[in-house]
Amino acid sequence: MKTDVLIVGAGISGAVVAEQLANRGLDVLVIDKRDHIGGNAHDRLDAHGILIHPYGPHIFHTNSQRIVQYLSRFTEWRAYEHRVLAKVGERLVPIPINIDTVNQLYGLELDETTIQAFFDGVREPRDPIRTSEDVVVNAVGRDLYEKFFRGYTRKQWGLDPSELASSVAARIPTRTNHDDRYFTDTYQVMPRDGYTAMFSRLLEHPRIEVQLDVDFFEFRDRVQATHVVYTGPIDAYYANCYGALPYRSLRFEHEHLADTTQYQEVGTVNFPNDYDYTRVSEFKHLTGQAHAGTSIVREFPEAEGDPYYPVPRPENEALFKRYEALALQETGVTFVGRLAQYRYYNMDQCVGAALKASQYVLEKLGLPLDV
């Protein structure tokens, strides 16, 4: 079998590269070892007709107009601003921590003029800021750190925040206002007909062929491709020759509640201190779907299983760099995406990385960029 470009992985990274290359006249074969497209951002109707995200809640948010414009060629959008409450003691309070979080927890009446003085009074200044513990205690002090971050992070990563790069907890800001949105990006939208519909349109091109249930490592000898774009875990590509890169996994427990129209007040409730799961998400909030019942998912972090998260910490970055050095020597293979680049990418960052990788492949194959 022959093709111009073989793309390993039909997730958002692979789908964007496929679309870009096919549009420049290349024949593209996309394979995925799963039985569906969309990678971890895949969505589908459950047995009760509710649109769910089998691999956990996915909310699209970005500051990049270019990326929204690009994806808008493949989907209409629905405006959606995600809100999250955290269960601390018996209360459900907003996370990221804002004025209302502090007031509700401590029975205070702070406002925008007094909240920073409160944080200044409780914070433990750290310099330099290297770990996720540093980030949080430096901003809000030990008590809020222990109420919201320590237990959640230990559960999610199997590591103490002091063992994780600062970038992990830095994803969650501290607010000195009443803004209770989880994200503050300029664009916060969901694909109107779902992610899988958007990916189907990306992949709908006469030059793109998609084959599912195909594992690259079993298939590679049967295909001749001028170039390979690989979006799986980078260590697997090199048969773990330097040892396995740690990835964190999750077990998802989905539940349908036939007689409940709304299970919880917001899209996601975090459980920093109770239970073995980190959070519960209710899909109808995200999708806006009307249905008499509702479907929820609980996320149980696990060490083994499908790779979902790279684990950002210095020793892992050093191991990744060794694999990356091998990857940089390849002339016929490009590595892109959350697993191949070992980056804690959101979907928009995957799109950005995939657009960049597409340009690189086109240049490599000596093709003009704007045919």
Residue 338 interface partner, choices ligand UDP, ligand FAD, none, CB cut-off 5-8 Å depending on type: ligand FAD
- In the shown chain, the binding pattern of residues 43 to 82 toward ligand FAD, with x for contact by CB under 6 A and - for none, equals ------------xxxxxx----------------------
Q: Which does residue 75 touch among ligand UDP, ligand FAD, none (CB within 5 to 8 A, set by kind)?
A: none
Residue 330 found at the interface with ligand FAD (CB under 6 A): no
216 counts as binding ligand FAD under rule CB under 6 A: yes
Which listed residue (287, 295, 346, 358) binds ligand FAD by CB under 6 A?
346
9 touches ligand FAD by CB under 6 A: yes
Task: Name the residue type at position 226.
Answer: T
- Residue 33 interacts with ligand FAD (CB under 6 A): yes or no: yes
Q: Please, which residue, 9 or 96, has the CB nearer to ligand FAD?
A: 9
| Interaction between residue 172 and ligand UDP (CB under 6 A) | yes
H or E stretch covering 251: strand 247-257
Which residue shows structure tokens 């091109």? 205
C-beta of 136 vs 297, nearer to ligand FAD: 297
The helix-helix angle for 132-144 and 115-122 (nearest 10°) equals 100
Total binding residues toward ligand UDP, as defined by CB under 6 A: 13
Residue 269 binds which one of ligand UDP, ligand FAD, none, with CB within 5 to 8 A depending on kind? Answer: none
Query: What is the separation, in whole angstroms, between the first and last Cα of the chain?
Result: 26
The residue behind tokens 């519909």 is 197
**Of 340, 316, 313, 315, which Cα lies nearest the Cα of 326?**
340
Say which residues have a Cβ less than 8 Å from residue 48's Cβ, sequence separation at least 6. 256, 258, 291, 293, 295
Cα-based angle 197, 199, 203 (whole degrees, multiple of 5): 115
- Decide if residue 59 touches ligand UDP (CB under 6 A): no
Sheet holding 309-310, edge to edge: 91-95, 84-88, 268-270, 279-282, 294-302, 247-257, 309-310
Among 2, 171, 220, 356, binds ligand UDP (CB under 6 A): 171
